[in-house]
């Protein structure tokens, strides 16, 4: 037995010593096959993520399609000055913040509530049916959802206006009325995603040890108290994580959604940064100005996530990275 | 067994919980049921505004006309092509890239990792992306819908953390036998990762199928319209004549409202049919992603 173990042991010791001596370069060379696997992914990353990042320099130019980036005239911060003095941009910025804040305040807590309540259901068939139904809208595209709601909210024969008229009210032109358009945007976003957004909280609840509930139950805690003192604290890390991630997309109030829902009559209340970039950039071919708006958007988003993460690390000792 | 007795507050909680869930379920289903009823109701019922929850004067001619129309079936096939090619390539590249990134002890890997994660926090924005696609001559090419979407860093992180959870001993024995990385990846790691790969493939597929923004930007050749673009024409631009490209006589018998409802239903049904079968996979996948990630 010994004769078999000793050579193996010696070999192991020798390789350990060798490993120590090995330079970084040799480690790389020895694992070159592993590094080579990165090639396709890195190429895609450089081409489709980093080259567009370089492309933001046209925000500091008066970009001209025929001259390209290299020959277009540099204009410094002119585009940004134009942006700050544009009342149209200020309106768009306000719309973006408003829609985003409504979405966070009204829609962020609901998935948490859904997860907490689903956790209380012991009747599995019922629970599974509810889950199947509420996850489903997540898989429908925004164009389909716009179609669904344009049908149900139609002023002439939609279900909602039929009910309003039945009660003696005036029909509401939901997609043409600046006073209700934002509500339509927030409600439909909720309809699509609140069920799906609950999944992560449901998963977190499933990770809480069942013994805690049993112990609390023996101590006489009601189920409401158990929700408050066990389930909710158990969810807290996930809630914070999701809030930080949410911060990063505050300036994306749902570009694709609004593009499929709005029309010129509701630009006043519904035009957000993403849709504005699309309209000024590709509609009016104002590439440089539109890139400046986009850059403003990216920078603010970046600052929000990084500072949110910093804050969370300092105060709560947890962060995304 | 339980010492705790059911109190009044427990009963109240149950009533609230079940009540809340029933209302939530109904609110979710209502728009779908309503549009379905409109798509199969007769025109006189639609025009007189009598269709609410249930179909009135049942007919499926509009639905059949929409599905068999040239515009719809062409857009449908293009979406199927983009989704299947895109999903296949994306899952392959993502699964391969995640493997070296899970070897954090290798020099330089953590820097490359930061390069990937940084793109989640910052991006060039719409116009630079558009100009790049134009420079690459990908306007009006279906590749413009596939290539930029091929690496989702978020999906890659989920796969990477799954790899990290696999026992290391599996790889070590293969390495001692002299296996190279690609052999280990394709023979050992990938077969063991099927649950997470299936979930991520589903996420990619849903992304490609539902993508509206990129085809709107990059595709203007009518022959290459995806299903979402076709839907936009019918739903937002009320281009119902083109939706079934029939003669004016045939159109007389179908109201735009009914064509619109039928087009929405025809595009929704395929998703609703496959969705219940996929559910168990994505729930498992989200669990993997959230527990480890």
What are the pLDDT tens digits along chain B (293 aa)? 455 567 788 888 999 999 999 999 999 999 999 999 999 988 777 777 777 788 888 888 889 989 999 999 999 999 999 999 999 999 999 999 999 999 999 999 999 999 999 999 899 999 999 999 999 999 999 999 999 999 899 999 989 989 998 988 888 888 888 889 999 999 999 999 988 898 899 889 999 999 999 999 999 999 999 999 999 999 887 777 666 665 555 555 677 888 889 999 999 988 888 888 878 777 776 666 554 43
CA distances from B281 to B2, B197, B208 (A): 35, 10, 18
A120 and B96: CB-CB below 8 Å?
A: no
Give the pLDDT score at A153: 93
Give the pLDDT score at A78: 92
Q: Is the pLDDT of residue A214 over 80?
A: yes
A221 and B128: CB-CB below 8 Å?
A: no
The contacts of residue B58 (CB under 8 Å, 6+ apart) are: B40, B41, B42
Q: Where are the domains of chain B?
A: 1-59, 63-289
A274 chain-B contacts, CB cut-off 8 A: 126
Plot region of B182 (φ>0 → left; ψ -120 to 50 → alpha; else → beta): alpha
B45 chain-A contacts, CB cut-off 8 A: none
CATH of B63-289, one of 3.30.1330.90, 1.10.3720.10, 3.40.50.300, 1.10.8.590: 1.10.3720.10
Who has greater pLDDT, A12 or A192? A192
How many angstroms from the chain centroid is the CA of residue A300?
15
A48 and B147: CB-CB below 8 Å?
A: yes
Q: Could you tell me which chain B residue has the CA closest to the CA of A40?
A: B93
A45 and B261: CB-CB below 8 Å?
A: no
**Which of A28, A157, A256 minimises the CB distance to B107?**
A28
Each residue of A148-186: pLDDT tens digit? 999 899 888 788 998 898 899 999 999 999 999 999 999
The burial of B164, by beta-carbon neighbours within 10 Å (0-12 exposed, 13-18 middle, 19 or more buried), is given as middle
Give the pLDDT score at A5: 61
Stretch A277-283: mean pLDDT, rounded? 92
**Which of A49, A156, A255 minimises the CB distance to B123?**
A49
Which of A42, A65, A138, A159 is the best mutation test for B, with the most CBs of B within 10 A? A159
Q: Is the pLDDT of residue A248 over 70?
A: yes
B150 chain-A contacts, CB cut-off 8 A: 44, 48
Who has greater pLDDT, B246 or A56? A56
Q: Model ipTM?
A: 0.90
Yes or no: say if A273 and A281 are a contact pair by the CB < 8 Å rule: no
* pTM (predicted TM-score): 0.89
Helical (H) or strand (E) element with A61 = strand A61-62
Q: Is the pLDDT of residue A224 over 90?
A: no
The contacts of residue A17 (CB under 8 Å, 6+ apart) are: none
């Amino acid at each position: 037995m010994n004769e078999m173990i000793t050579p193996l042991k010696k070999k192991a010791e020798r390789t350990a010593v060798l490993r120590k001596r090995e330079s970084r370069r040799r480690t790389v060379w020895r694992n070159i096959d592993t590094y080579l696997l990165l090639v396709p992914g890195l190429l895609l990353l450089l081409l489709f993520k980093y080259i567009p990042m370089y492309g933001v320099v046209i925000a500091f130019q008066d970009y001209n399609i025929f001259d390209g980036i290299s020959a277009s005239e540099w204009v410094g911060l002119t585009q940004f000055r134009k942006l700050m003095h544009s009342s149209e941009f200020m309106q768009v910025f306000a719309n973006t913040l408003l829609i985003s804040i409504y979405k966070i305040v009204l829609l962020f807590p609901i998935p948490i509530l859904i997860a907490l309540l689903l956790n209380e259901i012991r009747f599995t068939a019922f629970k599974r049916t509810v889950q199947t139904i509420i996850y489903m809208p997540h898989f429908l595209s925004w164009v389909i959802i716009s179609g669904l709601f344009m049908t149900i909210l139609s002023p002439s024969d939609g279900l909602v206006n039929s009910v309003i008229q039945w009660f003696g009210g005036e029909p509401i032109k939901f997609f043409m009325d600046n006073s209700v358009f934002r509500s339509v945007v927030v409600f439909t976003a909720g309809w699509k995603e609140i069920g799906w957004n609950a999944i992560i909280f449901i998963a977190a609840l499933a990770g809480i040890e069942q013994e805690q509930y049993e112990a609390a139950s023996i101590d006489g805690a009601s189920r409401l108290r158990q929700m408050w003192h066990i389930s909710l604290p158990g969810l807290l890390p996930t809630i914070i994580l999701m809030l930080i991630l949410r911060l990063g997309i505050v300036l994306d109030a749902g570009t694709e959604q609004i593009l499929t829902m709005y029309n010129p009559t509701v630009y006043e209340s519904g035009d957000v940064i993403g849709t504005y970039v699309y309209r000024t950039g590709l509609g009016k071919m104002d590439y440089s100005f539109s890139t400046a708006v986009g850059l403003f958007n990216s920078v603010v988003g970046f600052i929000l996530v990084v500072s949110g993460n910093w804050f969370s690390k300092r105060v709560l000792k947890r962060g995304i990275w | 067994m339980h010492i705790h007795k059911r109190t009044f507050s427990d009963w109240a909680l149950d009533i609230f919980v079940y009540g809340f869930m029933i209302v939530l379920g109904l609110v979710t289903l209502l728009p779908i049921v309503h549009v379905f009823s409109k798509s199969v109701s007769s025109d006189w019922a639609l025009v007189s505004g009598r269709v609410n929850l249930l179909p009135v004067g049942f007919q499926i001619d509009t639905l059949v006309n929409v599905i068999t129309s040239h515009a719809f079936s062409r857009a449908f096939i293009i979406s199927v092509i983009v989704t299947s090619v895109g999903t296949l390539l994306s899952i392959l590249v993502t699964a391969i890239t995640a493997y070296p990134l899970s070897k954090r002890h290798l020099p330089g890997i953590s820097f490359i990792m930061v390069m990937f994660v940084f793109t989640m926090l910052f991006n060039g924005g719409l116009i630079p992306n558009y100009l790049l696609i134009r420079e690459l001559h990908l306007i009006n090419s279906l590749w413009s819908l596939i290539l930029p979407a091929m690496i989702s860093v978020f999906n890659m992180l989920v796969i990477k953390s799954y790899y990290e959870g696999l026992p290391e001993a599996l790889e070590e024995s293969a390495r001692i036998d002299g296996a190279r990385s690609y052999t280990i990846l394709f023979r050992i790691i990938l077969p063991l990762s099927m649950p997470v790969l299936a979930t991520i493939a589903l996420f990619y597929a849903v992304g490609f199928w539902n993508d509206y923004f990129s085809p709107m930007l990059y595709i203007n050749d009518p022959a290459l319209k995806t299903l979402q673009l076709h839907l936009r024409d019918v739903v937002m631009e009320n281009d119902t004549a083109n939706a079934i490209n029939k003669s004016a006589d045939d159109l007389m018998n179908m109201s735009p409202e009914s064509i619109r409802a039928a087009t929405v239903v025809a595009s929704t049904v395929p998703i609703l049919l496959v969705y219940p079968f996929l559910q168990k996979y994505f729930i498992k996948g989200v669990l993997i992603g959230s527990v480890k990630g």
